[in-house]
Structure 1
């Protein structure tokens, strides 16, 4: 028999999957590029939550390193997109310019 906690976790996984479908729609149909970047960041956070719930269901800790990797890549990607949207470049090479 599946425990009560496992049923709740499976319901939460289904809710996360439905919210991720809504996020995919927002990434494709987003009104501005800024909305798409924020939605991609939220998608990464939701993916991390879903993977942690799968880790609970499978009763394993092996997915924790994958969750951390997704978090780091998502953070770097969001910062890179934000810097590109703000200035138009990601890596600045103006250390020799003192103006």
Structure 2
């Protein structure tokens, strides 16, 4: 029963990943695309985590950690870009 629930969760996350990709490609505004990419990263972390549970392994734990860090840094960089228009400010003295 547990495996069936996990497989259903993987299917739901797969649909969610596809919807996030669609929103990132078709999003009317840049903010929509940024939120879709952030959601894609979080859904991917959940997908890989459930996959690890199903396989009864810890082989992908580092991948999940790196994805989490990259999703966070990417969200912060894109939010800063939306706020100011530049990600790295080299002109400040």
**2:32 aligned with 1:32:** no
Where do 4+ consecutive residues of structure 1 move more than 2 Å?
none
Deviations 1:53-86 (A, max 9, x none): 0000000011111100000011111111111111
TM-score (norm 2): 0.95
Equivalence for 2:40: 43
DSSP-derived class of the 1:93 partner: coil
Larger Rg: 1 or 2? Answer: 1
**2:85 aligned with 1:88:** yes
Alpha-carbon separation, structure 2, partners of 1:62 and 1:29? 34
Deviations 1:31-62 (A, max 9, x none): 10011001100100000000000000000011
Coordinate RMSD, CA, aligned: 1.0
DSSP-derived class of the 2:57 partner: coil
Q: How many angstroms does 1:94 deviate by?
A: 4.3
TM-score (norm 1): 0.89
Alpha-carbon separation, structure 2, partners of 1:71 and 1:60? 19
